[in-house]
A and B are shown apart, each in its own frame.
Chain A
């Protein structure tokens, strides 16, 4: 496996209709079309998906670990933001 100059792509796979795409991993590919095909071969060979998105890793803006506290800490003690006070109707699977 030699090093290549191919860009990195993030792969999102939707496992079933009705569910959202979930990050599955990343891969290298020279362009979007081949990234899609590589994603098919790497991440859906055991029937894991019905739809794939590939996104250049370089266009993703990620939160920084340094900002973890201001970003996430304040939400920890606000239980009223969680929709746990509802009765979930029967038959609803993906709420």
Chain B
């Protein structure tokens, strides 16, 4: 009996971690609505946001009531990666964040889909969506990196700025049975390949530090996350149970 309880608790924390990643990044991408550089790209980003929201709903529903989890938890109860909560910045920042995260998510979901764990059915469905997210990020990285002087500079700056948040993706998560060292080397190989083809330098410097390693997964978040949550949650908190 006690074994079952432990299993449930670890599955819950894994579902919460992956669900929060999807939910938070979905909200960030949704912030582009009405602000994207061109209409076509606005729809593309909104599509990706909606894919992620769908994944978040399935994952959070494994843990409890999806609305309560999304709208009524405090900042410290969220276990998403700090990478996904980073502000959109300019378009290059959004694309760099997409490249780093979708590459990780694609590799992770591919491995989960191949297994027979609780997440296998969800991962099998999501991996097709994520493959497109990854392709979208790669296409834009190539064009911005190998584009004009300005786009190259901005893309380089964005890749460097977000680099230090990428180590956290490979910290162990209870209940998530994956080969993390293999995942990390596959991620590094893939991202390095895209950056090289985009004529961008692979950022140097630590990918995690004493202050950052795994902190998002433990509920420690960066400054802008509180403001994002306030915006995401205020309607539900003001009008509990409101619906269309």
A positions within 8 Å CB-CB of B: 1-2, 4, 6, 27-31, 33-34, 37-38, 41-42, 45
A45 partner residues in chain B, CB cutoff 8 A: 43, 47
Cross-chain contact of A34 among B37, B43, B47, B139 (Cβ < 8 A): B139
Return the 5 tightest CB-CB contacts between A and B, nearest first: A38-B40, A41-B44, A41-B43, A41-B47, A27-B40
Apart from the given pairs A1-B39, A42-B43, 15 other A-B contacts in the complex at a CB distance below 8 Å: A1-B38, A1-B42, A6-B38, A27-B40, A28-B38, A28-B39, A29-B40, A30-B143, A34-B139, A34-B143, A37-B136, A38-B44, A41-B40, A41-B47, A45-B47
Q: Give the residue among A1, A6, A28 with the most B Cβ atoms within 10 A.
A: A1
Q: Mark B136-147, 1 if CB is under 8 A from A, else 0.
A: 100100010000
Chain B residues touching A, range:
10 to 19
What is the CA–CA distance of A59 and B139 in the complex, to the nearest angstrom?
A: 25
What is the CA–CA distance of A38 and B40 in the complex, to the nearest angstrom?
A: 6
B positions within 8 Å CB-CB of A: 37-44, 47, 135-136, 139, 143
Identify the closest chain B residue to A36 (Cβ): B139
B136 partner residues in chain A, CB cutoff 8 A: 37
Q: Does the CB pair B139–A28 fall under 8 Å? A: no
Q: Does the CB pair A37–B139 fall under 8 Å? A: yes
What is the CA–CA distance of A4 and B47 in the complex, to the nearest angstrom?
A: 22
Identify the closest chain A residue to B142 (Cβ): A33
What is the CA–CA distance of A37 and B139 in the complex, to the nearest angstrom?
A: 10
Cross-chain contact of A2 among B37, B47, B139 (Cβ < 8 A): B37
Q: Does the CB pair A37–B38 fall under 8 Å? A: no
What is the CA–CA distance of A45 and B40 in the complex, to the nearest angstrom?
A: 13
Q: How near does chain A come to B90, taking the closest CB pair, in angstroms? A: 14
Q: How near does chain B come to A86, taking the closest CB pair, in angstroms? A: 44
| Given A37-B44, A38-B44, A42-B43, also A4-B139 (CB < 8 A) | no
B40 partner residues in chain A, CB cutoff 8 A: 27-29, 38, 41-42
Identify the closest chain B residue to A34 (Cβ): B139
A31 partner residues in chain B, CB cutoff 8 A: 143
Q: How near does chain A come to B225, taking the closest CB pair, in angstroms? A: 28
A34 partner residues in chain B, CB cutoff 8 A: 139, 143
